Structure 1
């Protein structure tokens, strides 16, 4: 699903009170980390991740890695925090994406 401006604005508002649930640390970006991230996005659809200070990667590198290896979309970058969205593979877990499609 390609997001339009209003949809991104809605997702940013929804994620405003979220705390980051994933971190990128000194181990960097690995396929295992991406698989765990994908599993969390299948359950929640909208999450925040944090890039730790001791990480060797930048926010743009993380964004490019995530978008090139999966169908996850980066909605917003706030300093070292990224807001990510992905429509769930399971129809019964699609709460956020159903509301986004109506916008």
Structure 2
């Protein structure tokens, strides 16, 4: 599902107050790192990732890696911070995705 403009604006507003849960450092990104993100996003649906200054990859490379290896969508990139979204498969964890679907 590709997100529309209203949906992205809503997700950005919801992510504004969040603190980054994951960081990308000098080790870069890997499949095991992505699996940890999948587990976290299943519970929260919306998370932030912070890129450290000593990261071996840039934000665009991280964005491409995440979107090509998973169904997680990058909603926003500001500086060294990425906002990620994916609807939860478990109905109990669906809070944000229900509201996003209403905006479609």
Shorter-chain TM-score: which interval? Answer: over 0.9
Secondary structure of residue in 2 paired with 1:7: helix
Deviations 1:9-56 (A, max 9, x none): 000000001110100011111111000000000000000000100111
Inter-partner Cα distance in structure 2 for 1:64 and 1:48: 16
- What aligned pairs does 1:1-103 form with structure 2 within 5 A after superposition? 1-103=1-103
Number of positions where the alignment pairs a residue of Structure 1 with one of Structure 2: 103
Inter-partner Cα distance in structure 2 for 1:33 and 1:98: 27
Deviations 1:44-88 (A, max 9, x none): 000000010011100000000000000000000000000000011
Inter-partner Cα distance in structure 2 for 1:55 and 1:27: 7
* Runs (5+) with no aligned partner, structure 1: none
TM-score by length of 1: 0.98
Secondary structure of residue in 2 paired with 1:49: strand
Runs of 4 or more consecutive aligned structure 1 residues displaced over 2 Å after TM superposition: none
TM-score by length of 2: 0.97
Inter-partner Cα distance in structure 2 for 1:39 and 1:53: 25
What RMSD in Å do the two structures reach over aligned CA positions? 0.6
Inter-partner Cα distance in structure 1 for 2:53 and 2:35: 23
